[in-house]
Structure 1
Amino acid sequence: MKKPFKLLAAMAIVASMFMPGGEVFAQDSLDDFKEEQIKHRGETFRVLITANSEQEVQQLQQSFELRNEFEDHSFTADVTEKEFQALKNMPHITVEKVEILSIQMEPSSLIVSDEVDAAAASQSVPWGIKAIYNDNNLTSTSGGSNIRIAVLDTGVNVNHSDLYYTSEQCKDFTQQAPIVNNTCTDRNGHGTHVAGTALGDGGDDKKGVYGVAPNAKLWAYKVLNDSGSGYADDIANAIRHVADQASSQRVKAIINMSLGSNGESSLITNAVNYANDRGVLVVAAAGNDGYSPGSIDYPAALPSVIAVANLENRLENGTYRVANSSSRGYTSSAGDYVIQRGDIELSAPGTSIFSTWYNGGYATISGTSMATPHVAGLAAKVWAENPSFTNAQLRANLQNRAKSYDILGGYYAGIGDDIASGFGFARVR
């Protein structure tokens, strides 16, 4: 149950901050205002509140219900506009709105298969999987043993026939409790689609969809709501949880984030750095903001994240073509084979991708969201074959694979490291 904000108590806290020595207002004084609670809070939004001390944090949490807690005396909470303005006026307190991130698919591209069995049988190995394996006659896939792929998304239908045996963890980070175990319900479809591309195993009858690395294990983490958007603090919480789980279980993990926003979130940046320092590889969708330079979304724009561009199933200048909708990097940092902020790193199939769907069937959609799990799956397959690799060595291996298949099709695509395709298309062989 949500705690209503005690407006007068908050004003008391403000007054207390002006006391000599910056003492925090006494708890019994806060209790005097318990009857002065606002009954109708109205529309709320998420904020990050940072105080000077843990004591101040505890004081503030008497008025604002904790959502997620972070280092440096910070926590997030849902507030109204009036509460937000009151917080902004408090000395010794900083407050900022939490970034909202969304899935990176093109909604107009969605085609849900009516004839489930027939559709699956005709595309058990979709074109993108054949392309990344460099084998047009491919009938099944393999690889990824002992590697975990954490899909941070709208949830996953872990009971889907093509994902049932790959699922190992199912958690929800969007509910009132920071983490709810054994539930990751997907009512959107996006997360289930992404998971199928990364590690679908074809199902018991082997007529379903195969992903890049079907022997990997799925960590399905719901961080986005049913409309496909979610708060940065929930996503940051999930990123850190992946790193902690991988460390405690002594396993290798890859994070797939087919999501993004135009603005950077310090919460996610810090969480990504936390995961990288603990050996996790992080892969994210570059975004679908068109082919103007400098349009990469966050977190893909972070140098510590592999940003993935979207390739179409058609050739131009002898190679696959980068989709017009796929975001581009900065021209100033092109050509150096060095990943900087806002650079594309790798390209992968992302247009008209057939994969698993939340209703137990299949669907075809497009976007950098769909390209990203191809790279996550490939990373799992390569890591399983080279278990001594660090996450940095794995990333370098993927970059070298991409250099051997340079992409020359699409706006701004050209020889070498370009702002459209990055290093190129990393493949199995």
Structure 2
Amino acid sequence: MNKAKAIVMSGLLALSMAGSMTSVAAAEVNVNANGGEKIRVLIEASASSGGVSTMSQSKAQLNSAKATYGKRWEFANGNSFSTEMTEKQFAALQKNKNLKVTKVDQVTVAADLRAAKKPGTVQATAQTPTQQVPWGIKSIYNNNNLASTSGGGGINIAVLDTGVNVNHIDLVNTVEQCKDFTTAAGLTNGQCNDANGHGTHVAGSALADGGSDKLGLYGVAPDSDLWAYKVLGDNGSGYSDDIAAAIRHAADQATATRTKTVINMSLGSSANNSLISSAVDYAYGKGVLVVAAAGNSGPAQGSIGYPGALRNAIAVAALENRLENGTLRVADFSSRGFTATDGDYVIGVGDVEISAPGAAIYSTWNNGGYNTISGTSMASPHVAGLAAKVWAQNPTWTAATLRTNLQNRARANDILGGRGAAVGDDYASGFGYARVQ
């Protein structure tokens, strides 16, 4: 797409997790004009005894509840919606046998794994980067002398995260959409402010273009178009309904614009969520490739977080910039799959699929400068960028064909370093390390 055209701003969700990822059915506290605390709720039509008449009653009461409380997001072809209400209203509505009423899951970002926190680590806006092509970008290109990057033209990378500083000199030319899914109004166009920094960092690794002066930082696929979708608050926490809505919106936008789209979600929780999982399936069915962080709960096996653990999402493990057994090493913090599925080269629920650089990653920051962070959140955008670069070179491919190609690239670069890493498909590194060449 033509980046010179008017920019439609949007926002993203993502996580960089140092501890275990959590999913809690907790409620964000909002204070309304009357001082009442409100919680986020999902209301579903649920005909308890079956039959046409009972379903009709359920739908009628669902519509009545929608009229009473208003809808935030609508799901399941109009058979469920999310909204906000007081605890007292929630308790009363749970007694309605024709409706299923539950609190919406809250996805919480654990602390970032920052390589350093000394003064000067986060560079001021006026400074140029200390490195234009970070180690992870050189590594995924398999070129230690790399001075700049290229590729990804015509492909969208939707970053669902804490937002993005779309005015960053190394990102401003890539921005096509900027949207906020966390506001009281639901979707708000033209804003995706990132007061956290995480989303801006993720976007930089995927597609930073060095800026108009070409003195800035480069990501994997700088010719890609950025769809910045803010799905997490400034504290790194967000709701599953907002995330699900953003996933579906990205898929619908891809269809409407007839463009190829890669969704990056550097976020997660320990438990599967039906709203997010169904949204991932919806996007994949629309031809969108979904890439997600594996999580930072390693090295224990069975610790891949959701949505990365889903079959229709690529779970990305984090590699360190050091050799072990002749290859890069899977970081101890990187979540693992299951030893029982080692060697099968089949992606099931809870499997890591691909590895990419994720430790001590230098990238763009929300103050207009740069910062270094570690986590599978940093590994995921490397794969999203690679996917965009490869897809641009093969525009007739489907998302499924592209995914197979990425898997084959990973198989060609086996990872033997780190706990659980072994020859072939393993529960630590998955198929291996997918690279440009």
Residue 47 (structure 1) aligns with? 41
1:370-389 deviation per Cα after TM superposition (whole angstroms, max 9, x unaligned): 00000000000000001111
* Distance apart, 1:204 and its partner CA: 1.8
Q: Do the aligned residues in 2 keep the contact of 1:243 with 1:278 (CA within 8 Å)? A: yes
Task: Establish whether residue 96 from structure 1 lines up as the match of residue 102 from structure 2.
Answer: yes
Residue deviations 1:314-364 (CA, integer Å, cap 9, x gap): 111111111111100012222100000000000000011000001100000
Amino acid at match of 1:74: S
Residue pair 1:106, 1:288 contacting (<8 A) in 2 also: no
Q: Which residue of 2 aligns with 1:22?
A: none
Q: Which amino acid aligns with 2:263?
A: I
Q: Give the Cα–Cα distance (whole angstroms) in 2 for the partners of residues 82 and 335 of structure 1.
A: 52
* Higher relative contact order, chain-length normalized (CA < 8 Å, sep 6+): 2
* Residue from 201, 225, 231 that aligns with 2:233: 225
User: For residue 138 of structure 1, what is the aligned residue in structure 2?
Assistant: 146
| Selected match of 1:78 from 68, 81, 84 | 84
Partner of 1:165, secondary structure, is helix
Instruction: Give the match's secondary structure for 1:179.
Output: strand
* Secondary structure, counterpart of 1:255 in structure 2: strand
What is the aligned-residue RMSD (CA, Å)?
Answer: 1.8
- Answer yes or no: is the 8 Å Cα contact 2:353–2:431 preserved in 1: yes
Q: Normalized against structure 2, the TM-score is what?
A: 0.86
Classify the secondary structure of the residue corresponding to 2:305.
coil
Residue deviations 1:13-58, cap 9 Å, x none?
xxxxxxxxxxxxxxxxxxxxxxxx994422x332211024442222
Counterpart contact for 1:99–1:263, Cα < 8 Å: no
Q: Quick check: 1:104–1:287 contact (8 Å CA) kept in 2?
A: no
**Distance (whole Å) between structure 2 residues aligned to residue 150 and residue 58 of structure 1:** 33
- Determine if the alignment matches structure 1 residue 66 to structure 2 residue 74: no
The equivalent of 1:298 in structure 2 is 306
| 1:303-318 pair list within 5 angstroms | 303-318=311-326
Equivalent residues of 1:148, 1:217 under 8 A apart = yes
Q: Is the Cα contact below 8 Å between 1:104 and 1:368 reproduced in 2?
A: no
Provide the rounded CA distance (Å) in 2 between the counterparts of 1:390 and 1:116.
42
User: Mean alpha-carbon deviation: is it higher for 174-183 or for 293-302?
Assistant: 174-183
Distance of 1:394 and 1:54 partners within structure 2: 41
Which residues of structure 2 form unaligned runs of 5+? 1-31, 47-57
Report the equivalent of 1:30: none
Q: SS of the residue aligned with 1:272? A: helix
Partner of 1:33: none
- How big is the shift at 1:90? 1.6
1: distance between equivalents of 2:111 and 2:266?
Answer: 8
- CA distance in structure 2 between the aligned counterparts of 1:195 and 1:105, rounded to whole angstroms: 18
Matched residue, 1:274: 282
Amino acid at match of 1:314: R
Partners of 1:313 and 1:38 in 2: CA distance: 53
Letter in 2 for 1:143: G
Give the letter aligned to residue 391 of structure 2: W
Structure 2 CA distance, aligned partners of 1:63 and 1:353? 48
Is 1:150 matched up with 2:158? Answer: yes
**Distance (whole Å) between structure 1 residues aligned to residue 325 and residue 287 of structure 2:** 38
1:56 aligns with 2:51: no
Unaligned runs of 5+ in 1: 1-36
**Are the structure 2 counterparts of residues 109 and 64 from structure 1 closer, same or farther at C-alpha, using a change threshold of 3 Å?**
farther
Q: What corresponds to 1:16 in structure 2?
A: none
1:260 alignment partner, SS class: coil
Quote how far apart the aligned CAs of 1:109 are.
Answer: 3.6
Over the matched positions of the two proteins, sequence identity in percent amounts to 60
Instruction: Name the count of aligned residue pairs.
Output: 392
Per the normalisation by structure 1, the TM-score is 0.88
